[in-house]
Amino acid sequence: MVNDITAVVYDQQAAWNRGDLVAFMERGYWNSPDLTFYSGGKVSHGFDEMLAHYRASYEGPGKELGKLTFSQDTVDLLSDDAAIARGRWDLDYAQKPDVGGLFTLVLRRVDEGWRIVHDHTSVDG
């Protein structure tokens, strides 16, 4: 089970680095209005709102996705269908300063497989 959860995170990394935000979202996040994302003092609710946030932040003129790297992964199984994953993310950019931080993900096993139901992401500094 831990390998299945880790695969979700690294499949997201691969999708991001291909420039495919939709695949990044679909592979990792629960497609539900009950999905939550906490970051930068803001709360986003739902798959569609979260995808819109990513598109506004990373797509368009003067914006770039950068190269995403996940590391320092820890997965704790809470039950047969729930887990917490923690780690570090880093974005390396070509045209602006790199950024990174920490994440905590709550995952549940749903019909599509393991999906993130809550994401709390922080930025260094």
With cut-offs at 50, 70 and 90, classify the pLDDT of residue 1: confident
pLDDT for 110 equals 96
CATH number at residue 41: 3.10.450.50
pLDDT in tens, 26-64: 999 999 999 999 998 999 999 999 999 999 999 988 899
Q: Average pLDDT for residues 67-77, to the nearest whole number?
A: 94
- The structural domain count of the chain equals 1
Among residues 57, 43, 50, the alpha carbon closest in space to that of 28 is found at: 50
Q: Domain range for residue 92?
A: 2-121
With cut-offs at 50, 70 and 90, classify the pLDDT of residue 14: very high
Gap between the Cα atoms of 97 and 104, Å rounded:
24
> Is pTM beyond 0.85 here?
yes
Report the percentage of the chain scoring pLDDT > 70. 100
